[in-house]
Structure 1
Amino acid sequence: MKGAAGALPPRLLLPDAPALVAPAPGSAVLLTPDGELSTLRAAAVPAALRELGPPILVHAPATAKRLNLPALPGAWDLLELFAFCQPALAAPPTPRGLALALDLPPPPDAESAAALLPEIATELLRRLARARNAPLNREAAALAARLRDAADWPWADSILAALGQPGARPGRDALKVWRALPEWEEAAPSPPPASLPVSPAEARTRLAEILGESAEQRPSQADFASAASLAFAPREAPGEPQLVLAEAGTGTGKTLGYVASASLWAERNGAPVWIATYTRNLQRQLDQELARLYPEPEQRRQRVVIRKGRENYLCLLNYDEAASGAMPGRLLPLALVARWALATRDGDLLGGDFPGWLMELFSAGAISLLADRRGECIHSACPHWKRCYVEHSIRRAAGAHLVVANHALVMVQAALGGGEDGPALRYVFDEGHHLFDAADGAFSAALSGAEMAELRRWLLGSEGGRGRARGLRRRLEELLAEHPALLPPLELVERNARTLPSPGWWDRWAVLPEADEQRAEDRGEPPDDPRPVVARTVQGEPAETFLRAVRTQILARTAEADPLYDAECDLHPLHEDLPDAAARLEDALERLRAPLKHLAKLLADLLEDPDQELETGDRIRLETATRSIERRALMPLAAWVAMLARLREPPSEPGQRPTYVDWLALSRREGRDVDAGLHRHWLDPTVPFATQVAAPAHGVLIASATLRDAARKDPESAWREAEARTGVQHLPSPAIRAAVPSPFDYAANTRAFVVEDITRDSPGQIAAAMQQLFRAAGGGALGLFTAIRRLRDVHARIAPALAEAGLPLYAQHVDAMDSATLVDIFRAEEDSCLLGTDALRDGVDVPGRALRLLVFDRVPWPRPSILHRERRIHLSGGRPGGYDDAIARHRLRQAFGRLIRRADDRGVFVLLDSRTPSRLLAGLPEGVVPQRLGLAEAVRQTATFLSQTPSPPGC
């Protein structure tokens, strides 16, 4: 009997395929269709699959890598099925992670995981069948039929059966998701905001409302909310924001503490508060916490907006162009993106509700190139502009109560003069201890091959390739027909842009464009072009000559270092090749900048010409083009010219404090030199942060669990150092200081050990120590390394033994997954182990038993570099060693903070570095007494401590 719309009743159609799980590198568990379980070595897997057929599995690339296989063709990957049936739903990409996401009993071991895979497929298809008439699934059958016929996708027939449409025909328009997306509409300008304050008592009341009557009473959280409210008082003088510097120990609940004041101020005054944190992962965590304030999803969508740079969002024009000519091999990733695009909250491809593991399933760029590339957006000239995810978020942010951004976006917009969202009046900088590093990246400049090549791409678009990059001519094409005066400067820009590095420049380090001509001159042959070489527009010249000169100086001034590592050298004294190469490049950049300035002026003049009867679309295109040329081309060109001009100046006197630090750097990848350039950073990047971001605001709250150096016995000096690291000292009015201690009992719930009887430079000893400690903890262990090479070596040594003990091991730079995916797995797999580097040291929230042991391979000293050397000299207050100590202490304290996220958490912190100075351990939380002992004793105490049942909080 047919159902609605001619469909048949849904049917669950499962593949007659084996189920495969790779619990550890080199081993697999295989479940045959007949129900026979077997454990195989990796070498035996191909033969088994040739007999049984492609398997059902989770994450085919990661599984293949664990089994040392090039690929697993034809595999029934449950992640692909999950992405089709449950788009925009989060799930760690493991059998246990999918089970948790689908409310199925999680498997306790690899054998159970293999047996669970068909059940996961069944549950996914059952859910799709129940929702087959939902608007989301209107084109699902047509899309699945296209994947069946054009891409031979294994899951297509199962999906069509679940939808009750086994005979569905491929839909030609099934990928055109933009047709179902809403359009934004322009709204009237917002009225000017009021300046009504939020009192400490009101902040406490709002906090209580958010938490509810049944919430645990945390006086420290209410105290923090009171302190945070002081940043929302009216500003008294221009350039002097109400400034609060607040340290809230781990467990205080600082997020809801400041959200109480921020949300109340936004409601009263009719303007959003911008909450900035350090990473995309932390943005996601903060957004999840805001569900306490706005529990209804639609209400939260209206009042909370996540803002990121354009490169984070799906570009509908890139997607449209990719889908229009999609080859069969590219069809599946586009189809899964189409499913997600209909369900996503805001179109964020990186860190939002888009599963990060989905990019890992396909070839490089299959999905990532669908995002907007830097400066490529053509704005109102785009046919999808009215449905654009970015434009939606910008307009929603203007009327939101809370805008959750990251430090980088806030600072880049300030550097660009306000950005697309305009200046904010009130900021909350969470993870404020990262402000120095965030400002360092935002207010720096690099005259490198990659940066110059990117500008060339932006100006010229794709050159001779199949890329979708759109050049300046494409962005202006609708204006050129009506305003031909724009054409001559544009043509001059295009001609001069060819002096920037051309595609493939990194393969020409030793090739000089003049070489062939010089050989012709030696033979007495006349050159083809009568002009001097310097005067010609040669592809990639003189930029590539400058890059070769930079590389030459670096190689001459540095030791014969490991080719796997980057190299750098001081700018002065200059190599003999560099001044002339720099002068030629400076001249070329000026010749490019002049017509760009003229073009920008012509565009601006058209906007102000009273004789021009411009339609709204044309006016928007003109404004957008003018702004884009200024920000994307003229600003970097001005910085590069200033940096090159610096080469003509004499070097600074030794000991003289510079405003900027300039140096030369060479980037390497897999033993190859891939980039070179001149770099410029502020000596103290909090200066531009204070003047360009904080000073124009009316109120700024800087909050962190680790603002001060806990080793400082003098509270005043500790606060002064915190003010220096956050830029507060550069503002005219002093900050209000507040400190709320952590409510956690670190003395009872943690242990800290320094292992003294192993050699930190011995990979074998480090690996053995980590293996023993990880097994003693029963998993839930995070190993942190200061070098990727050591991480990989340790992983190779310990993975098989941990697998035999039933402890899955994952690792950055080893597994075919990004760090966010690995953290999601680590959080879901309670007894797994994870190896990582700096990215996992702080800002990762893994509460409960999933993280109960943290092991450092050695002290995380700052990396010795020219930039660090100059800051060590000039920002240390005369104590260079103390500057390094403070950084290392801070990193250890941040890592220690990952262990205890809830009152009943227990954790062990271990340093496998016998050279650890005691002064560094003084930065650990109060009550923690580090013990120096041998490895065997550390292992025994770790096992004993973590096996104990924690006492209830408050006992």
Structure 2
Amino acid sequence: MPRSRAQRPRPYEVNVSDTRELLHAAVEAVGGVERPGQVAMAEAVDRSLQGGGHLLAQAGTGTGKSLAYLVPALAHPGRTVIATATLALQRQLVERDLPRTVEALHPQLRRRPEFAMLKGRANYVCLHRVHEGTPSEEEDALISASEAAEGAGGPTGKLGREVVRIAEWAQESETGDRDELTPGVSDRAWAQLSVGSRECLGASKCPYGAECFAEQARERAKLAEVVVTNHALLAIDALESAPILPDHDLLIVDEAHELVSRATGVATEQLAPWTVTRAARRAAKLLSDRSADALEAAAENFAGVMEVVPEGRLEALQPNLAHAVALVRDACRQAITGIGEVRDKTVAGEDAVRKQALASVEAAHRTAERLLEENPYDVVWANRGERFGASLYVAPLSVAGLLRENLFGDRTVVLTSATLKLGGDFEGVAASVGLGAEGRVPEDAPLPEPSEDAEADASADEDAPPRWRGVDVGSPFTYPKQGILYAARHLPPPGRGDRPEMLAELTELVEAAGGRTLGLFSSMRGAQLAAETLRERLDVPILLQGEETLGELIRRFAEDPETCLFGTLSLWQGVDVPGPSCQLVVMDRIPFPRPDDPLMTARQKAVEENGGNGFMAVAANHAALLMAQGSGRLIRAMDDRGVVAVLDSRLATARYGSYFRQSMPPFWYTTDRNQVRRSLAAINTSATKPD
């Protein structure tokens, strides 16, 4: 939760030369090379901490942005929270960057700041479930974890073996953190021995509360000066009523281009027949027959109505659907009251059963109530999945207002990523997180003089928009010399068919590159078709997302330079393969959101109704961010060379094409297919020459 106005921290004063000296020591300690952009970013973070408002810092790949924000954060006397999107970066910070930087700065700071990692409760194994078993009679409750831990006979299937392994690991682990369990286990197995915050008994009521891994992690975070967490937990802390993160003066959001999607995910709720049925089953033994029958009947009625509900956005709930949702709401409300009235001592671990049942019923009640409110700032849609059937979803039309109110309070916020400038400026990303153009101040604007009366300052700023700066510190790479951006102008615009011309062009490019290709596709069907086609036409290995774990696919892609890797959304971001294995990045088309995407369509319509350009503000922004991230997969080291090929003629011919090109690294741009093939062949020849 944001700090109160009266608690706003006083600006701290740091000499710029001191920052440079500290950064230099840290870079030497990690064996890196100090770069001008890194220095510029560290100074920009300092400037914001001294009262210069919030900061959007674009730092290209290779800048060393982690150290650029860690150094001023560690020098800062208050607490810092760092939120990242990927597990890889969290591990890098906690296991490598922070320990080395703390030791490097110790002589100058004369202290060793403590740091800790904090995740959501479900990321830690639950000792109550390990010892007492899963409090449920559902079909997926396979084995008593206490029996598993004691080595008793259990199921021999893969899922059962995974549950046994988790339980055994929990006896030895110091943290109980799922990410430290190697090899990993399936989500279904982990769910057996973990709980969410709403299902947790609470440390005071749980017999294992004193040993609880999640509680110990929270206690470590309370004592630490630097807390590393993830975007999801940050969003939960900001958007929900119960604070999770400790109070902090500085918030650093790395990989900030993903913050809006993570916050949207946290604020999105689902109501499906199976979730109501599960709630009814979990609560059955804790309710009177009348309440249990009412909840079961509401679930059955809702399931029947959902069978005929069409997919897509629902501007309003049809009367029969609204009635079915109201029955669910009322039955859940009755059940919530009833769960506290009936006690069944024949139920093993009754308190855990009760807590789990209450969590399920309350979730269904909360979502049903939200759906019936028909809030104009919410978007409701129906979706039909293969496994669980039809579901209703409700999500905020925008999270910008929520983030503006709850994130940018009386703390300094630094948002950083390699892709924050879309179309050449910060305005699009800033607006998406709640920072309006009216709050932007020039980078060279003088800092406000600190006042002796912080409370008076706060009162004066009560209605002022959050002040922010945007700074692009560049990249150490010489993109125009290291890479080519190729737009296939001659291809017909993408349609719904198989695009044989695109597949022919893709074949020629991969052949010229000698493999070495990361193929980024806008759909799984497109990736599968391309993989099947090129496997028939070329004698190079083609890996396809979904045929192996993502980690294994990336490992094989990196190890064999002739290998190609094709896939969809997961590959557009986070693939870091420097060297000769990735010298051609192909995008099959501009990745606009699907025209039937209910949330994107609603957001686009809302912008248009307010006089804006909905297509550019929503669809183009979405696509530009992905293209910026996707093209960033090519140049990962100083000696990398290659081509980003966009097999969508609209990049060259449409009026919005320049917007996308300005969002991507400044590669040398061409539409000459022959030149690109010659360049790829030359790069391939150079890469295959013996040392």
TM-score class, shorter-chain normalisation, is 0.7 to 0.9
Q: Which amino acid aligns with 1:722?
A: V
Displacement after TM superposition at 1:758 (Å):
5.0
Asked if 1:642 corresponds to 2:393, the answer is no
* Distance across 2 between alignment mates of 1:638 and 1:420: 20
* Distance across 2 between alignment mates of 1:374 and 1:459: 18
**1:320-335 matched pairs, under 5 angstroms:** 320-323=146-149, 324-329=152-157, 333=162
Q: What is the match of residue 199 of structure 1?
A: 14
When residues 778 and 339 of structure 1 are mapped into structure 2, their CA distance, relative to the original with a 3 A threshold, is farther
Displacement after TM superposition at 1:379 (Å):
4.2
Asked if 1:571 corresponds to 2:315, the answer is yes
* Distance across 1 between alignment mates of 2:362 and 2:13: 42
Q: Which runs of 5+ in 2 are unaligned?
A: 1-6, 105-110, 131-144, 344-349, 440-463
- Partner SS state of residue 260, structure 1: helix
Q: What is the match of residue 353 of structure 1?
A: 180
Q: Which amino acid aligns with 1:290?
A: L
When residues 638 and 921 of structure 1 are mapped into structure 2, their CA distance, relative to the original with a 3 A threshold, is closer
Asked if 1:247 corresponds to 2:51, the answer is no
Q: Deviations over 1:286-339 (max 9, x none)?
A: 44443542579xxx9993322222222333434435445523446754675577
Q: Which amino acid aligns with 1:859?
A: I
Q: What is the match of residue 749 of structure 1?
A: 482
Conserved? CA contact 2:257–2:417, under 8 Å: yes
Conserved? CA contact 1:445–1:679, under 8 Å: yes
Q: Which moved more, 1:907-916 or 1:324-333?
A: 324-333
- Partner SS state of residue 263, structure 1: helix
Q: Deviations over 1:794-815 (max 9, x none)?
A: 223334665x44xx432222x1
* Distance across 2 between alignment mates of 1:858 and 1:374: 41
When residues 580 and 384 of structure 1 are mapped into structure 2, their CA distance, relative to the original with a 3 A threshold, is closer
* Distance across 1 between alignment mates of 2:341 and 2:615: 52
Asked if 1:309 corresponds to 2:120, the answer is yes
Conserved? CA contact 1:853–1:908, under 8 Å: yes
When residues 353 and 424 of structure 1 are mapped into structure 2, their CA distance, relative to the original with a 3 A threshold, is same
Q: Which runs of 5+ in 1 are unaligned?
A: 1-191, 235-240, 461-472, 474-489, 499-536, 555-566, 603-620, 647-651, 653-657, 713-717, 951-955
Conserved? CA contact 1:447–1:678, under 8 Å: yes
Displacement after TM superposition at 1:850 (Å):
3.4
Q: 591, 597, 619: which is aligned to 2:334?
A: 591
When residues 800 and 541 of structure 1 are mapped into structure 2, their CA distance, relative to the original with a 3 A threshold, is same
When residues 343 and 413 of structure 1 are mapped into structure 2, their CA distance, relative to the original with a 3 A threshold, is same
Q: Which amino acid aligns with 1:320?
A: S
- Partner SS state of residue 290, structure 1: helix
* Distance across 2 between alignment mates of 1:226 and 1:632: 48
* Distance across 1 between alignment mates of 2:249 and 2:417: 21
Q: Deviations over 1:528-561 (max 9, x none)?
A: xxxxxxxxx256321332343244231xxxxxxx
- Partner SS state of residue 409, structure 1: helix
* Distance across 2 between alignment mates of 1:423 and 1:625: 33
* Distance across 1 between alignment mates of 2:195 and 2:335: 25
Conserved? CA contact 2:326–2:372, under 8 Å: yes
Q: Deviations over 1:772-815 (max 9, x none)?
A: 4334333432111111122222223334665x44xx432222x1
Q: What is the match of residue 81 of structure 2?
A: 274
Q: 594, 597, 614: which is aligned to 1:880?
A: 614
* Distance across 2 between alignment mates of 1:293 and 1:949: 36
Q: 296, 305, 311: which is aligned to 1:540?
A: 296
Asked if 1:685 corresponds to 2:399, the answer is yes
Q: 517, 521, 524: which is aligned to 1:781?
A: 517
* Distance across 2 between alignment mates of 1:259 and 1:422: 18
Asked if 1:703 corresponds to 2:416, the answer is yes
* Distance across 2 between alignment mates of 1:450 and 1:386: 35
Asked if 1:230 corresponds to 2:230, the answer is no
Asked if 1:581 corresponds to 2:324, the answer is yes
Displacement after TM superposition at 1:878 (Å):
1.8
When residues 292 and 684 of structure 1 are mapped into structure 2, their CA distance, relative to the original with a 3 A threshold, is same
Q: Deviations over 1:588-609 (max 9, x none)?
A: 233234446x779x9xxxxxxx
Say which structure, 1 or 2, has more relative contact order (CA 8 Å, 6+ apart). Answer: 2
Displacement after TM superposition at 1:450 (Å):
4.6
Q: What is the match of residue 922 of structure 1?
A: 661
Q: 101, 107, 130: which is aligned to 1:293?
A: 101
Displacement after TM superposition at 1:633 (Å):
5.4
Asked if 1:491 corresponds to 2:491, the answer is no
Q: Which moved more, 1:203-212 or 1:757-766?
A: 757-766
Q: What is the match of residue 438 of structure 1?
A: 262
Q: Which amino acid aligns with 2:218?
A: I
Conserved? CA contact 2:335–2:361, under 8 Å: no
- Partner SS state of residue 378, structure 1: coil
Q: What is the match of residue 212 of structure 2?
A: 388
Conserved? CA contact 1:848–1:902, under 8 Å: yes
Conserved? CA contact 2:480–2:666, under 8 Å: yes
Q: What is the match of residue 164 of structure 1?
A: none
When residues 340 and 635 of structure 1 are mapped into structure 2, their CA distance, relative to the original with a 3 A threshold, is closer
Q: Which amino acid aligns with 1:216?
A: V
* Distance across 1 between alignment mates of 2:228 and 2:419: 21
**1:421-436 matched pairs, under 5 angstroms:** 421-436=245-260
Displacement after TM superposition at 1:410 (Å):
1.0
Q: What is the match of residue 629 of structure 2?
A: 894
* Distance across 2 between alignment mates of 1:631 and 1:205: 52
* Distance across 2 between alignment mates of 1:590 and 1:204: 59
Displacement after TM superposition at 1:907 (Å):
2.5
Q: What is the match of residue 432 of structure 2?
A: 725
Q: What is the match of residue 222 of structure 2?
A: 398
Q: Deviations over 1:711-732 (max 9, x none)?
A: 34xxxxx343332112123973
Q: What is the match of residue 134 of structure 1?
A: none
Displacement after TM superposition at 1:193 (Å):
11
Q: 657, 662, 678: which is aligned to 1:940?
A: 678
* Distance across 2 between alignment mates of 1:767 and 1:340: 48
Q: Deviations over 1:492-519 (max 9, x none)?
A: 5x963x4xxxxxxxxxxxxxxxxxxxxx
Asked if 1:871 corresponds to 2:603, the answer is yes
Conserved? CA contact 1:313–1:371, under 8 Å: yes
- Partner SS state of residue 405, structure 1: strand
CA RMSD of aligned residues (A): 3.9
* Distance across 2 between alignment mates of 1:200 and 1:243: 19
When residues 339 and 680 of structure 1 are mapped into structure 2, their CA distance, relative to the original with a 3 A threshold, is closer
When residues 291 and 842 of structure 1 are mapped into structure 2, their CA distance, relative to the original with a 3 A threshold, is farther
When residues 810 and 375 of structure 1 are mapped into structure 2, their CA distance, relative to the original with a 3 A threshold, is farther
* Distance across 1 between alignment mates of 2:270 and 2:112: 38
Conserved? CA contact 2:516–2:562, under 8 Å: yes
Q: 36, 44, 50: which is aligned to 1:219?
A: 36
* Distance across 2 between alignment mates of 1:931 and 1:826: 27
